[in-house]
Amino acid sequence: MKARVHIMLKTGVLDPQGEAIRHALGTLGFNGVEGVRQGKVIELELADGTTEATVKDMCEKLLANTVIESYTIELS
């Protein structure tokens, strides 16, 4: 089985990299980009039977820094 973890900065946390991307898009002529947020995706190959609770534990302990980041888990 697989899990895909999406990690994003929490709302309200400034994202200077996203802001730089927004500026670059403007420079390329893409008007109307009002905001860009950059996050990351981590794909995990897991032994069958691994629970969502275990993946959540991984997120809390290592994959995300919950002071500034939120995460969502997709199992497939």
1 binds other proteins (CB under 8 A): no
Q: Is 36 exposed, middle or buried (0-12, 13-18, 19+ CB in 10 A)?
A: middle
Q: Which stretch binds other proteins (CB under 8 A): 28-36, 43-51, 60-68?
A: 60-68
Q: Is 55 exposed, middle or buried (0-12, 13-18, 19+ CB in 10 A)?
A: buried
Measured from the CB atom, the residue of 6 and 49 that comes closer to other proteins is 6
Q: Measure the CA–CA gap between 43 and 11, rounded to whole angstroms.
A: 23
At CA 13, angle to CA 34 and CA 63, rounded to 5?
115
Site track 25-54 with other proteins (rule: CB under 8 A), x = hit: ------------------------------
24 binds other proteins (CB under 8 A): no
Which residues are at the interface with other proteins (CB under 8 A)? Answer: 13-14, 16-17, 20, 61-63, 65, 67-68
